[in-house]
Amino acid sequence: MNLRKIKTRVLIVSVLFLLLSISSLAQVRGKVRGTVVDSQGNPLEKATVTIISTRQASQRYETKTGKDGKFAQVGIYPGYYQVSIKKDGYLPKSLEVHVEIDGDTNLEIIKLETADERAMKSLSGADKAFLKANEYYNKQDYEKAAAAYQEAIGLSSNNWAYYFNLGLTYKKLNRLSEAREAFNKAVELNPESFSANKELGELLAREEQYEAAAGYYRKAAKLSPNDPDAHYNLGACLVNLGQGEEALAHFQKTIELKPDYAEAYFQLGSIYIGQNKKAEAIASLEKFLELAPQHEKTALARQLLEYLKK
């Protein structure tokens, strides 16, 4: 009898743990919803809504609109996504959204314009090429992925997502100048894309074009003010431009958003030294060493601390 009780208790605990895990996971994921209409504002039923992660194309969700033109997709992991809306007889539309932890992202009204039969055939071919390219990308066959993205662009040259994904592919192939051109086109077609602005800023910074890079990072930080990387990268560009005061504010924002962002503490320490703020510099560098004892800048941080404490 005692053995049965123990087994029952173990089973109950296991079930409770599973339920708690499921509940916790649900709270982490977010939701995307909106309403698809035609140019006259009439709801469009059975429009296909595809939501694809900008970081990992294999992470995707698909749903359809109801009679009222509304759609909702739940259970989406936090991050940036490309949302594509398609319906036969209409030009598809692509946009970027940011899904937050347990967030409800409302895209509100999305209008689709009608297209003639010839245009729809081209778009259909472009969509097929794009999906094929995503498959190659997920298999890490980047040469074939690049060719397929180029095929999609050749059939439909006004879709920012095609250029953005082509840029990511060129990055994997270390064809950085071509990646920069692709990201530049993506930003041109969709200036409000956080991911495209961030990627373009990164490549320009690699080329030491800090002023141009700072412009795109500043836009990225504006589009996503709670992204610590955007603030850190903008701060790093500003340091290289000799704009320490503005850089300081972005590094402070970085650690406000992510208190364990080690590199930001090193940058803060360096700026404080230049400002002759000894106590703040020591505190920042000590925090850096605490968080990243094996970092490539550890030796330099120790030397700076030794100098400051003399």
Query: Could you tell me the CATH number of the domain that includes residue 157?
Result: 1.25.40.10
Of 190, 216, 231, the residue at which a domain comes to its end is 190
Query: How many domains does the structure of the chain reveal?
Result: 2
Which residues on neighbouring strands pair with residue 32, listed in sequence order?
Answer: 73, 105
258 vs 54, more confident: 258
- Shared domain for 56 and 99, answered yes or no, is yes
- Shared domain for 45 and 111, answered yes or no, is yes
**Which strands, in side-by-side order, build the sheet including 79-86?**
60-64, 48-53, 79-86, 93-99
Per-residue pLDDT tens digits for 187-227: 999 999 999 999 999 999 999 999 999 999 999 999 999 99
C-alpha angle 8-9-12 in degrees, rounded to nearest 5 = 85
- Shared domain for 106 and 121, answered yes or no, is no
Of 61, 95, 115, the residue at which a domain comes to its end is 115
Percentage of residues of the chain with pLDDT beyond 90: 64
| Residue 48 lies inside a defined structural domain of this protein | yes
- Shared domain for 121 and 150, answered yes or no, is yes
- Shared domain for 36 and 109, answered yes or no, is yes
| Residue 218 lies inside a defined structural domain of this protein | no
Q: Rounded CA gap, 38 and 115, in Å?
A: 12
Q: Rounded CA gap, 275 and 42, in Å?
A: 60
Say what the pLDDT of residue 118 is.
60
Per-residue pLDDT tens digits for 56-94: 766 888 999 999 999 999 888 888 888 988 888 887 888
- Shared domain for 40 and 106, answered yes or no, is yes
Query: Could you tell me the CATH number of the domain that includes residue 44?
Result: 2.60.40.1120
| Residue 6 lies inside a defined structural domain of this protein | no
Say what the pLDDT of residue 120 is.
63
Stretch 276-284: mean pLDDT, rounded?
95
| Residue 163 lies inside a defined structural domain of this protein | yes
- Shared domain for 34 and 111, answered yes or no, is yes
Model pTM above 0.85? no
Given a cut of 50, is residue 293 above it in pLDDT? yes
| Residue 12 lies inside a defined structural domain of this protein | no
- Shared domain for 107 and 125, answered yes or no, is no
Say what the pLDDT of residue 53 is.
85
**Could you tell me the two tokens for 86?**
């398609």
- Shared domain for 87 and 161, answered yes or no, is no
List the domain range (segments joined by +) for residue 66. 30-115
Per-residue pLDDT tens digits for 5-56: 333 344 444 444 444 444 444 456 788 999 999 888 999 999 999 898 877 7
> Which residue reads 């120790």 in tokens?
302
Given a cut of 70, is residue 303 above it in pLDDT? yes
Please give the torsion angle defined by the CA atoms of residues 175, 179, 180 and 186, in that order, rounded to the nearest 10 degrees.
170
Of 91, 115, 139, the residue at which a domain comes to its end is 115
